Amino acid sequence: MKRLYFMLPDKESCKKVVTQLERAGIPERHLHVVASLTTPLDDLPEATALQKSELAHGIEKGLAMGGVAGLLGGLLVVAFPPAGLVVGGAALLTAVTAGSAGFGALAVGLISRDMHNKDLEVFEKDIDRGHILLIVDVPKHEVEQWKRLIAEHHPEAEIGVTTPTSV
Protein backbone atom coordinates (compact mmCIF):
# COMPACT_ATOMS: atom_id res chain seq x y z
CA MET A 1 0.00 0.00 0.00
CA LYS A 2 1.00 3.59 -0.57
CA ARG A 3 -0.37 6.64 1.16
CA LEU A 4 -1.38 9.63 -0.98
CA TYR A 5 -1.70 13.07 0.59
CA PHE A 6 -3.98 15.66 -1.00
CA MET A 7 -3.89 19.18 0.46
CA LEU A 8 -7.18 20.80 -0.47
CA PRO A 9 -8.16 24.46 -0.04
CA ASP A 10 -11.48 23.90 1.75
CA LYS A 11 -14.08 21.44 2.99
CA GLU A 12 -16.23 21.64 -0.15
CA SER A 13 -13.31 20.69 -2.37
CA CYS A 14 -12.48 17.82 -0.01
CA LYS A 15 -16.07 16.55 -0.10
CA LYS A 16 -15.97 16.48 -3.91
CA VAL A 17 -12.70 14.53 -3.94
CA VAL A 18 -13.94 12.05 -1.31
CA THR A 19 -17.18 11.48 -3.23
CA GLN A 20 -15.27 10.99 -6.47
CA LEU A 21 -12.84 8.52 -4.87
CA GLU A 22 -15.66 6.53 -3.25
CA ARG A 23 -17.54 6.32 -6.55
CA ALA A 24 -14.33 5.17 -8.24
CA GLY A 25 -13.96 2.29 -5.77
CA ILE A 26 -11.86 3.51 -2.83
CA PRO A 27 -13.52 2.24 0.38
CA GLU A 28 -14.18 4.81 3.12
CA ARG A 29 -11.83 2.97 5.51
CA HIS A 30 -8.96 4.02 3.20
CA LEU A 31 -9.92 7.72 3.32
CA HIS A 32 -8.75 9.88 6.23
CA VAL A 33 -9.33 13.62 6.65
CA VAL A 34 -7.24 15.91 8.88
CA ALA A 35 -8.33 19.48 9.58
CA SER A 36 -7.80 22.12 12.25
CA LEU A 37 -9.86 21.91 15.42
CA THR A 38 -11.91 24.90 14.24
CA THR A 39 -13.00 23.16 11.02
CA PRO A 40 -16.01 20.87 11.47
CA LEU A 41 -15.70 17.79 9.25
CA ASP A 42 -19.42 16.96 9.17
CA ASP A 43 -19.72 13.62 7.34
CA LEU A 44 -16.12 13.44 6.07
CA PRO A 45 -14.13 10.37 7.27
CA GLU A 46 -11.96 11.77 10.07
CA ALA A 47 -8.45 10.39 10.51
CA THR A 48 -8.01 8.20 13.59
CA ALA A 49 -5.14 8.01 16.05
CA LEU A 50 -3.46 5.49 13.73
CA GLN A 51 -3.15 8.12 11.02
CA LYS A 52 -2.58 11.19 13.22
CA SER A 53 -0.09 9.75 15.72
CA GLU A 54 2.97 7.51 15.83
CA LEU A 55 0.90 4.73 17.49
CA ALA A 56 1.35 2.09 14.76
CA HIS A 57 5.06 2.82 14.44
CA GLY A 58 5.43 2.70 18.23
CA ILE A 59 3.73 -0.68 18.49
CA GLU A 60 5.98 -2.10 15.78
CA LYS A 61 9.08 -0.67 17.45
CA GLY A 62 7.96 -1.96 20.88
CA LEU A 63 7.34 -5.46 19.52
CA ALA A 64 10.83 -5.56 18.05
CA MET A 65 12.63 -4.12 21.05
CA GLY A 66 10.66 -6.18 23.58
CA GLY A 67 11.10 -9.36 21.54
CA VAL A 68 14.87 -8.91 21.28
CA ALA A 69 15.18 -8.08 24.98
CA GLY A 70 13.06 -11.11 25.93
CA LEU A 71 15.02 -13.40 23.64
CA LEU A 72 18.34 -12.25 25.12
CA GLY A 73 17.00 -12.53 28.66
CA GLY A 74 15.61 -15.99 27.99
CA LEU A 75 18.90 -17.13 26.47
CA LEU A 76 20.74 -15.93 29.59
CA VAL A 77 18.38 -17.84 31.89
CA VAL A 78 18.71 -21.02 29.78
CA ALA A 79 22.51 -20.69 29.55
CA PHE A 80 23.02 -19.74 33.21
CA PRO A 81 20.07 -21.12 35.18
CA PRO A 82 19.75 -20.01 38.80
CA ALA A 83 21.06 -22.60 41.26
CA GLY A 84 18.63 -25.44 41.89
CA LEU A 85 16.20 -24.37 39.12
CA VAL A 86 15.50 -26.64 36.18
CA VAL A 87 14.33 -24.69 33.14
CA GLY A 88 12.61 -26.04 30.05
CA GLY A 89 14.72 -24.38 27.31
CA ALA A 90 12.52 -23.83 24.26
CA ALA A 91 9.25 -23.31 26.15
CA LEU A 92 10.83 -20.78 28.50
CA LEU A 93 12.56 -18.99 25.67
CA THR A 94 9.32 -18.73 23.69
CA ALA A 95 7.28 -17.55 26.67
CA VAL A 96 9.80 -14.92 27.76
CA THR A 97 10.24 -13.63 24.20
CA ALA A 98 6.48 -13.41 23.55
CA GLY A 99 5.78 -11.79 26.92
CA SER A 100 8.52 -9.23 26.46
CA ALA A 101 7.39 -8.44 22.92
CA GLY A 102 3.83 -7.87 24.16
CA PHE A 103 5.01 -5.69 27.04
CA GLY A 104 7.27 -3.69 24.69
CA ALA A 105 4.43 -3.14 22.22
CA LEU A 106 2.14 -1.96 25.01
CA ALA A 107 4.70 0.32 26.64
CA VAL A 108 6.03 1.99 23.50
CA GLY A 109 2.54 2.11 21.96
CA LEU A 110 1.20 4.01 24.96
CA ILE A 111 4.06 6.48 24.76
CA SER A 112 3.81 7.02 21.00
CA ARG A 113 0.01 7.43 20.84
CA ASP A 114 0.50 11.01 22.03
CA MET A 115 3.24 11.81 19.50
CA HIS A 116 2.15 13.53 16.28
CA ASN A 117 2.71 11.62 13.05
CA LYS A 118 5.99 12.89 11.58
CA ASP A 119 4.63 12.53 8.04
CA LEU A 120 1.99 15.18 8.81
CA GLU A 121 4.41 17.84 10.11
CA VAL A 122 4.92 19.32 6.64
CA PHE A 123 1.16 19.96 6.38
CA GLU A 124 0.62 21.61 9.78
CA LYS A 125 0.90 25.23 8.60
CA ASP A 126 -1.60 24.71 5.79
CA ILE A 127 -3.99 22.87 8.12
CA ASP A 128 -3.73 25.73 10.63
CA ARG A 129 -4.67 28.15 7.80
CA GLY A 130 -7.91 26.21 7.22
CA HIS A 131 -6.87 23.86 4.44
CA ILE A 132 -7.94 20.21 4.57
CA LEU A 133 -5.59 17.23 4.29
CA LEU A 134 -7.03 14.11 2.66
CA ILE A 135 -5.03 10.91 3.19
CA VAL A 136 -5.80 8.02 0.85
CA ASP A 137 -4.36 4.50 1.08
CA VAL A 138 -4.12 2.78 -2.31
CA PRO A 139 -2.33 -0.28 -3.72
CA LYS A 140 1.21 0.51 -4.92
CA HIS A 141 0.42 -0.33 -8.54
CA GLU A 142 -2.50 2.16 -8.62
CA VAL A 143 -0.69 5.27 -7.31
CA GLU A 144 -0.23 6.99 -10.68
CA GLN A 145 -3.81 6.24 -11.74
CA TRP A 146 -5.24 7.94 -8.62
CA LYS A 147 -2.83 10.88 -8.81
CA ARG A 148 -3.85 11.49 -12.45
CA LEU A 149 -7.56 11.24 -11.65
CA ILE A 150 -7.35 13.80 -8.86
CA ALA A 151 -5.03 16.14 -10.77
CA GLU A 152 -7.39 16.14 -13.80
CA HIS A 153 -10.51 16.96 -11.81
CA HIS A 154 -8.98 18.94 -8.94
CA PRO A 155 -5.96 20.95 -10.06
CA GLU A 156 -6.10 22.86 -6.76
CA ALA A 157 -4.98 19.71 -4.88
CA GLU A 158 -1.33 19.41 -3.88
CA ILE A 159 -0.33 15.72 -4.03
CA GLY A 160 2.29 13.81 -2.02
CA VAL A 161 3.05 10.07 -1.63
CA THR A 162 4.57 7.97 1.20
CA THR A 163 4.52 4.40 2.45
CA PRO A 164 2.26 4.11 5.51
CA THR A 165 3.58 2.54 8.68
CA SER A 166 0.34 0.62 9.03
CA VAL A 167 -2.95 0.52 7.22
Per-residue pLDDT of 127-157, as tens digits, reads 889 999 998 888 888 888 888 888 887 787 7
DSSP H/E element including 49: helix 49-52
Answer yes or no: is pLDDT of 16 > 60: yes
Instruction: Give me the chain's average pLDDT, please.
Output: 84
What pLDDT shows up at residue 167?
45
In 3D space, the residue among 91, 93, 69 whose CA is nearest the CA of residue 79 turns out to be: 93
Whether residue 38 is predicted with pLDDT greater than 90 in this model: the reply is: no
Q: Quick one: 155 and 74 in the same domain? A: no
pLDDT-derived band at 64, boundaries 50, 70, 90? very high
- CA–CA dist 74, 9 (Å, integer): 55
Answer yes or no: is 167 within a domain.
Answer: no
Tell me the residue range of the domain where 122 lies: 2-53+117-162
Q: Are 27 and 73 contained in the same domain?
A: no
Please count the structural domains in the chain.
2
Whole-model pTM over 0.75: no
| 46 in Cβ contact with 40 (< 8 Å) | no
What pLDDT, on a 0 to 100 scale, did the predictor assign at position 42? 83
